Chain A
Amino acid sequence: MERVAIVGIGQTRHQANRKEVNFQELVYEAVSLALRDAGIGIDGIDNVITTCNDFWDGRTISSMATGDVSGARGKNVSAVEGDGTFGAFYGLTRILSGAYGTTLVTAYSKGSESVPYLITNAAFDPIYMRSLGMDMVTACALQARRYMKRYGSSEEECALVAVKNRGNALANPNAHQGMKITVEDVMRSRRIADPLKLYDLSPISDGACCVILAREDRASKITNRPVWVKGVSFCADAYLLGDRDLSECRALEKAAQAAYKMAGVQNPRKEIDVAEVSEAFTYQELLWTEGLGFCEKGGGAKLIASGATAREGNIPVNPSGGLMGAHPVIAAGLIRIVEAARQVRGDAGDMQIQRKVQLALAHGVNGVCGQSHCVWILGRN
């Protein structure tokens, strides 16, 4: 496989409500930052992938809004609908195909203009399930309950994720919800859908993100700090919640194994230095760390309780604060790629983990209760 590197990254400051900008202006901010980071102009971009979602945007053909501001004028361009990690994957293959030397990938959401209940309710079967009140939160509450019941994990153990990640987000200048909170604060927060409480949920943010990928020959001309794509894969599980055991994440396991194989990773617990995962709900970080092989099944709670996933731990997870810190929905996974890349470059500021990062992992999710996962392994060499 031809070698491809991340040569430019940019993200907006993520906030609850960016009233002063529309979709286009939001994306333009991230694109401008990424081009500046790469030290190139838009002429250095061979092709463009935008990532968006018609429901979250309340627009059909939502990619119409952001093609021009992503610099697609006069270029080949396409649009992926789903998490930004999937958009970046297609962007990567367009380079690997030999067709292009560089790809610019954007993703964004304006949660402030969205009604998440209606938008995620529309992911469910219209005849049997929508009228039951299913949406992302209620479905994930079912998953949380199933996970906790199977492994005996407690609400307090899940709350550790909210405490850790919102604390980490305090060091992240782009984050929307950095907070110093305790497990008691999480337990006392308003109950949304049993067993999930307000602080078990990530916020919904306004924000955009941009990543520039380049083939090796182009990358070496653009930057002296390339972040190499070592492995990437994605996988989708069954659609109906009843067709899955929600205490497992087999699609994540399969995607991770494939990505590890590409990257030559045999023992992820030892070889991955830092991970940025998409934990829209606290229990998900526990479950995803199990799926990624950082611990045994059911061991997620023990792993976080041991401090291993703290920024100072030996397998830091979400030192940026993850989705608890900022969650511009469609951009969430692409931001994970950016934060993982910053850890590899060693320029993550106060978020930087202590040991030198050789391999970093970034993770994105599509669908409800982690139906579809995308895993990226990024490296220094």
Chain B
Amino acid sequence: MGKRVAIVGTGQTHHRSIRRDVNGQELIHEAVVRALQDAGLTIGDIDGVVIGNMDHFEGINYVDCWSIDGSGGYMKPTIKLTTGGTTGATLAVAGYHMVASGMFEKLLVIGWEKNSESDTTGAIITCTDPIIERQFVAGAISGLACEAQAYMHRYGATPRDAARVSVRDRRHACNNPYAQLRGEITVEDVLNSPRLADPLRLLDMCPRSDGACAVVFASEDVAEKIAPTPAWVLATANRHMYSDYTDVVEMSSLLSMVEASKELWKKLGVREPLKEVDVVELYQPYSWAGLMWIEDMGLCKKGEGPKLVWDGVTDMGGELPINPSGGVVATNPIGATGLIRCAEVVLQIQGKAGARQVPDVKLGVATGFGGNWWTDMLAFGKKKPD
């Protein structure tokens, strides 16, 4: 069997819409230095580097090679993974397996994006089939609008329900010094914000950010020596189900989340996630996902997401706080976003989340969303696995 693995240090930049003061390597370097400081390590202690982003946002090819000066990968094994929005979570899943394999003891995992240098929608459109789909699939917003329409039609949810999710996450973000959008909004603000693609409005959507996140994975041989409270990786699961947008047959439910979460709960032995999980950092690129995908995750039955959210169950102080960090509608440096979800869960487990701390977190879940309706999930725990 493989080694048990924990995250022993995290670092992230203060995310902004534009960081003109740094280039990509410098942005990466900020997060790396913070992660190493948090772990009490130096770059000399690190055995290898795993890095990811989405190439077409910055227009840089071979980013694993290009980023060496910022990542600290000089004369170390350095590898790049990319899976779209899921990239950050994909990186964490890779960090886990590579350390569990016994081939690395201390591995630095980095996700980053400098979205200010990109035409985000223009780049995303190129993910689709060039002959058929590029003619009508217009980037991330329109696809998500289709999903929201299907969900609204089938389960009767309203734009007001979705707005409540944005209100929650933007309120949570006020507690997070790293968040990009820190300022409370109301349901009316969301409903009166500019319409992007029906039913989505500006404040339903995530921003695009410049930011980076780095975490240090360590094997069971050293984790407890490095960190007083390592956050142990308990399970990972993912599904990248489709190649083409036109493959997606069911839009009122995120099937990759349904399948991946079933696998995750099985691996964890969790029967009632709403009761047993202490915190969730959901890769929720828009408000409606905060209704739909929590149903698909099994926190409640299909169609009951809005009630859960209105009842405050997912607020700070609720039974299962979702996105204490403010989540993705407050901050979205895409290649880093999934890894930030992991880092935030780790901070919760370590009790280092400051004003956004949820009391006594023993089990936390981080998710990634991206590609073609894909889901990557990781579960972290305070107790060392058996």
Whether both chains belong to one complex is answered with yes
Interface residues, chain A, CB within 8 Å of chain B?
Answer: 1, 24, 53-55, 58-61, 63-69, 72-82, 86, 89-90, 92-99, 119-120, 122-123, 125-126, 233-240, 250-251, 254-255, 366-368, 371-372
CB pair B64–A64 under 8 Å, yes or no, is: no
User: Can you list 10 pairs linking A and B with CB atoms under 8 Å apart?
Assistant: A58-B130, A60-B56, A61-B370, A64-B244, A78-B94, A81-B63, A82-B79, A97-B101, A99-B100, A234-B77
Chain A residue contacts of B78, Cβ below 8 A: 234-236, 372
Q: Are the CB atoms of A80 and B55 closer together than 8 Å?
A: no
Which residues of chain B come closer than 8 Å to A251, judged between CB atoms? 75
CA gap between A120 and B3 in the complex, in Å: 38
> Which residues of chain A are near B130, meaning CB under 8 Å?
58-59
In the complex, which residue of chain A has the Cβ closest to the Cβ of B242? A68
Q: A60-B127, A251-B75 are in contact. Are A93 and B103 (CB under 8 A)?
A: yes
CA distance A79 to B371 in the complex (A): 11
Interchain CB contact under 8 A, B75 and A237:
yes
> Within the assembled complex, what's the spacing in Å between the Cα atoms of A37 and B97?
27
Which B residues are CB-close (under 8 A) to A255?
77
A86 to B73, CA, bound (A): 15
Binds A, one of B82-90, B178-186, B205-213: B82-90
CB-CB contacts below 8 Å: B335-356 with A: none
State which of A53, A61, A98, A126 has its C-beta within 8 Å of the C-beta of B1. A98
Contacts known (A61-B371, A68-B242); A123 close to B55, Cβ less than 8 A? no
Does B93 have its Cβ within 8 Å of any Cβ on chain A?
yes
**Is the beta-carbon distance between A236 and B2 smaller than 8 angstroms?**
no
Q: Closest residue of chain B to A63, judged by CB?
A: B83
Say whether chain A's binding surface is mostly helix, strand, loop, or mixed: mixed
Chain B interface bracket (under 10, 10 to 19, 20 to 34, 35 or more): 35 or more
A95 to B63, CA, bound (A): 26
Question: Nearest B residue to A92 by beta-carbon distance?
Answer: B101
A123 touches B65 (CB 8 A): yes
CA distance A65 to B240 in the complex (A): 11
Q: Is B239's CB within 8 Å of the partner chain A?
A: yes
Q: How far is the CB of A253 from chain B (nearest CB, A)?
A: 10
- Whether the Cβ atoms of A98 and B100 lie closer than 8 Å is yes
A255 to B75, CA, bound (A): 9
**Which B133-176 residues have C-beta < 8 A from chain A?**
none
**Chain B contacts for A54, CB-based, 8 A:** 54-56, 82
Cα–Cα, bound, A317→B149 (Å): 59
Is A367's CB under 8 angstroms from B65's CB? yes
Is A123's CB under 8 angstroms from B66's CB?
Answer: yes
Residues of A within 8 A of B370 (CB): 61
How far, in whole Å, are A170 and B2 apart by their CA atoms in the complex?
A: 44
Q: How far is the CA of A66 from the CA of B371 in the complex (A)?
A: 12
Residues of the B chain whose Cβ atoms lie less than 8 Å from the Cβ of A237: 68, 74-75
A366 to B61, CA, bound (A): 11
Cα–Cα distance between A54 and B79 once the two chains are bound (Å): 15
The residues of B that contact A250 with a CB separation of less than 8 Å are 75
Q: A60-B56, A80-B81, A81-B64 are in contact. List 20 more A-B contacts (CB 8 A).
A: A58-B126, A58-B130, A61-B54, A67-B240, A74-B241, A82-B64, A90-B79, A93-B100, A94-B101, A97-B3, A97-B100, A122-B61, A123-B60, A123-B62, A234-B77, A236-B77, A237-B74, A239-B65, A239-B66, A366-B65
Smallest CB separation, B90 vs chain A (Å): 6
Answer whether residue B307 sits at the interface, using C-beta atoms and an 8 A cutoff.
no
Closest to B243 in A: A68
A72 to B372, CA, bound (A): 13
CB neighbours (8 Å) of A367 from chain B are 62, 64-66
> Which B residues are in CB contact (< 8 Å) with A67?
240, 243
Interface flags for B266-283 (1: CB within 8 Å of A; 0: not) read 000000000000000000
Question: Do A24 and B1 form a contact, CB below 8 Å, given A79-B90, A97-B100, A251-B75?
Answer: no
> Most B CB atoms within 10 A — which of A63, A94, A250, A366?
A63
- Look across to chain A and name the residue whose beta carbon is closest to the beta carbon of B59: A122
Q: Does B65 lie within 8 Å of A372, measured CB to CB?
A: yes
